[in-house]
Structure 1
Amino acid sequence: MGAANKWSDTAMLVIDMQKEFVDPAMSSLAFLAGGEAILPAVTQAVELARERGIFVVWVVREHDPDGRDVELFRRRFYSGGKGPAMKGSQGAEMADGLVIKEEDYKLVKTRFSSFFATNLDSVLKTSGIKNLVVVGVQTPNCVRQTVFDAVALDYEKVTVIVDATAAASPEIQMANVRDMKNIGVETPTLEDWSRQA
């Protein structure tokens, strides 16, 4: 069985790897230092996914300038046409070095989970996807909620690449990784995942 056949029922979700969240030059309240640190690993994971013929899905936040589509607790950060990851803003762009290609899919979400009030499950299922590999930020929020929903939606194998995901601290990262392992999620390093034939 060729590599493309083995991986044809797998999708990689690249979550919130946008300048707003991972680029310190943005001086954003939403910046996560761990996100900047994992950028090389995420870039490498995406390249490997493409080599394997894995369907790459870029999950991003893009909000209205008035904040009416963000969670209630975040709306205070939106006023006067300013706020994190606004549609068309520099902060909503992908981090340097990450490029959405024509064969990829871009999904806009407005909540933590990539599945909540989006067409992601439909896109994946109609594409024959049974397994997911997740990279991006941040682990206790968008990564974790997406992963828990993927398990609830009965994806056969859910994998989180631990060094291509990040949280505010190593302790928070590892506590959330442990919780995801406890529900059956695989948690390899990028090196271990790259060795899987």
Structure 2
Amino acid sequence: MTELDDDYAGAGFGRPLDWGEKPAVLLIDMVRAYFEPDAELYMGNRDCLDSAARVVSAARAAGVPVIYTRVVYGPGGIDGGLFFKKVGALRHFVSGSGSDLGEIMPDVAPEAGDLVITKQYASAFFGTTLTATLAANRIDTLVICGVSTSGCVRATAVDAISNGYVPIVVRQGVGDRDPRPHEANLFDIAAKYGEVWDEPAVTERLAR
């Protein structure tokens, strides 16, 4: 452990949370905007997409539900509020704009029966039906992949634990524009809001 790890552990952070009885995999905003090299929001790599695809495959083999999110705005971003104003690149997700950047990547494309939730803000919970869906299906654990680590992934993990769900963030299955916010937010999530597991451990646990 590093000195920072020791400091946080000594303050009582980072106590482990175990998986519940019924997990679901949540793929956050795995859309073309972040993986197409010419796109304004392009992150520069696709490693997290490849990892997420393997997690989805393991989930399907185990009969674990897979839930997706994508961002969609009404005309002019009318339902995006100050978030839409703050982040100019969100204009690519306006419905009817003619852009395909909001489409989910084919590597992790939904199958028949998968739920795709549309959202307007960072968290997959805010203003969506996710909480009610999880409760109705007795899901208690969310295995989280997606982008970005410092944005929608972190916001979703915080809201997950706030609503009584165990967030399991897949280290290799999430990504960001730069390793600095990526690593800082993984550290913070593990310390305060959930668990950060490596992909092989996640796929092994899903197989149970």
The reply to whether TM is greater than 0.5 is: yes
Aligned equivalents of 2:44 and 2:78: distance in 1? 27
1:65 shift after superposition: 4.0
Paired letter, 1:14: L
Contact 1:7-1:53 at 8 Å conserved across structures:
no
TM-aligned CA distance change 1:54 to 1:22, over 3 Å: same
Is residue 61 from structure 1 mapped to residue 71 from structure 2 by the alignment? yes
Q: How does 1:25-44 map to 2 (within 5 A)?
A: 27-34=38-45, 36-44=46-54
Flag the 1:145–1:73 CA change in 2: closer, same or farther, 3 A. Answer: closer
1:133 is displaced (CA, Å) by 0.4
2:93 aligns with 85
CA deviation profile, 1:22-70 (whole Å, cap 9, x unmatched): 221xx22222224x23211111111111111111111111122412122
Residues 8 and 54 in structure 1, CA contact (< 8 A), matched pair in contact too: no
Whole-angstrom distance in 1 between the partners of 2:147 and 2:167: 16
Aligned partner (choices 121, 124, 127) of residue 131 of structure 2: 121
Counterpart amino acid of residue 201 in structure 2: D
| Cα distance in 1 between the residues matched to 2:149 and 2:204 | 23
CA shift, 1:84, in A, is 1.5
Work out the CA distance in 1 between the residues paired with 2:94 and 2:62: 33
Distance in 2 (alpha carbons) for counterparts of 1:49 and 1:126: 20
Please give the root-mean-square deviation of Cα atoms over the aligned residues, in Å.
Answer: 2.1
Once the two structures are superposed, what CA deviation does each residue of 1:110-147 show, in whole Å capped at 9, x if it has no partner?
00000001111001110110111000000111000000
Contact 1:15 1:136 in 2 (8 A): yes
TM-score calculated relative to the size of structure 1 = 0.85
Unaligned runs of 5+ in 2: 1-18
SS of match in other structure, 2:39: coil
Q: Could you tell me which amino acid in structure 1 is paired with residue 147 of structure 2?
A: V
Is structure 2 residue 108 aligned with structure 1 residue 95? no
State how far apart, in whole Å, the 2-side matches of 1:172 and 1:90 are.
27
User: In the alignment, which residue of structure 1 is the partner of 2:202?
Assistant: 193
- Once the two structures are overlaid, the 10-residue window that deviates more, 133-142 or 178-187, is 178-187
Give the Å deviation of 1:72.
2.0
Q: Say which of 177, 184, 197 aligns to 1:168.
A: 177
Matched, 1:180 2:189: yes
| SS of match in other structure, 1:58 | strand
Contact residue 76 and residue 94 of structure 2 kept, 8 A: no
Structure 1 range deviating more: 61-70 or 103-112 = 61-70
